[in-house]
Amino acid sequence: MVESFIEKLRHDSFLTLETTPMHEPTFEPIIEKLIQYDLAKCIDGFSTTDNPLARLKYNAFFGALKLQNAFHKPVITTMSMRDRNKIALQSDLLGANEHHLRTILCLTGDPASASDQPNLKGVFEGNSTLLMDIIHCFNAGIDHSGKPFKTHPKPIYPFAVCNAHANIPKNLMKKMHTKIAHGAVGIITQPVYSTENATMLLELLEGAHEGCKNEHKTELILGFFPIVRLRTAQFLAAHVPGIHVPSLWMEKLTRAKKISEEEEKKVGLELSVQTFKELQRIHPKIHMMSANNFELVRDILKA
């Protein structure tokens, strides 16, 4: 299942859906919503987030296992460097390997200062490239200290992330190059809202491959977060680095909001559907994010 998932990423269209575990001791409500909106048949796989913004959530690996067992689909499991040292990282990878959780999204992680947990301290023994290096060791049959495993782990496929926008595009390309050099099979971008932005990212990725001698080309996966409210667009534009929301979206949503909330949602849905279709035409490898608003995802995909 995992290998066919990676082959689809490399040679076909590709669509994944992000799930965000909750601040609860259960993952079942997410499973139930995905069943309610019949989303599993529309996508190639899921992802689970790992305590974003350093806020306590249900464990990403257990959530991934629940998704995999419920829908028989691969799950990209996020691992953050913030909360684990090298022993914990490797221990989690060993346990996940036996359960075929072998597509790992490697993140440095949001700062501990963003947390609502008092006096939280981040571990941060390295950034996301350290985790990709650990995965490289596992794929060679050794742990990060060089000690061989008696049983060779099943292949692990690391994913990485990058911003979708930067004032100096070459800085984006350098970061892409670093992640390609450390073995990322796919790079998932922050949400993209225009074909111009998507085209720029694809061109940067081509430049980032120069000098890298990986066996396989790293694939770009365009992030997309549907926007149906002006306040969402304003928040993303003002507070989330690496995202550019076009002025056209702001103008149309502002006019619609003055009419009614229903008009605002209608215009936002139209913009989201149109942009999603345009992105698919340019580069049909997309990672859908929605903060667990699976009804909205259903509406986008149905359209």
Question: Is 102 among the domain residues?
Answer: yes
Q: What is the pLDDT of residue 46?
A: 98
Range of the domain at 148: 2-162
The residue assigned the tokens 């299942």 is 1
Residue from 218, 214, 143, 157 nearest 187 by CA: 218
For residue 61, give every residue at least 6 positions away whose Cβ sits within 8 Å of its Cβ, in sequence order, or none: 48, 77, 92, 95, 96, 101
Do the bridges between strand 157-162 and strand 186-191 make them parallel or antiparallel, or are there none, so unpaired?
A: parallel
Q: Which of 83-92, 112-121, 129-138 has the lowest mean pLDDT?
A: 112-121
Question: Is 234 among the domain residues?
Answer: no
Q: What is the pLDDT of residue 176?
A: 96
Q: List the beta bridge partners of residue 187.
A: 160, 220
At 17, is the pLDDT very low, low, confident or very high (cuts 50, 70, 90)? very high
Q: What is the pLDDT of residues 231-262, one digit of tens each?
A: 999 998 888 888 999 999 999 999 999 999 99
At 214, is the pLDDT very low, low, confident or very high (cuts 50, 70, 90)? confident
Q: How many domains does the chain have?
A: 1
Task: Give CA 87 to chain center in angstroms.
Answer: 24
Q: What is the pLDDT of residue 216?
A: 84
Q: What is the pLDDT of residue 61?
A: 98
Question: Is 299 among the domain residues?
Answer: no
Q: CATH number, domain at 38?
A: 3.20.20.220
How far apart CA 126 and CA 194 sit, in angstroms, is 33
Residue 211 has pLDDT above 80, yes or no: no
Q: What is the pLDDT of residues 150-196, one digit of tens each?
A: 999 999 999 999 999 988 899 999 999 999 999 999 999 999 999 99
- Model pTM score: 0.95
For residue 111, give every residue at least 6 positions away whose Cβ sits within 8 Å of its Cβ, in sequence order, or none: 54, 82, 122
Residue 213 has pLDDT above 80, yes or no: no
Question: Is 271 among the domain residues?
Answer: no
Question: Is 31 among the domain residues?
Answer: yes
Centre a 10 Å sphere on the Cβ of residue 274 and count the other Cβ atoms it contains: 11
Question: Is 279 among the domain residues?
Answer: no
Backbone angles phi, psi at 243, to 5 degrees: -125, 140
Q: What is the pLDDT of residue 215?
A: 72
Tell me if residue 292 falls in helix, strand or coil: coil
Question: Is 29 among the domain residues?
Answer: yes
Question: Is 291 among the domain residues?
Answer: no
Mean predicted confidence (pLDDT) in 137-145:
97
Bigger pLDDT: 236 vs 211: 236
Q: What is the pLDDT of residues 267-289, one digit of tens each?
A: 999 999 999 999 999 999 999 99
Do the bridges between strand 157-162 and strand 75-80 make them parallel or antiparallel, or are there none, so unpaired?
A: unpaired
For residue 259, give every residue at least 6 positions away whose Cβ sits within 8 Å of its Cβ, in sequence order, or none: none
Mean predicted confidence (pLDDT) in 207-235:
91
Question: What percent of the residues of the chain are helix, what percent strand, and what percent coil, each to the nearest 5?
Answer: 50, 15, 35
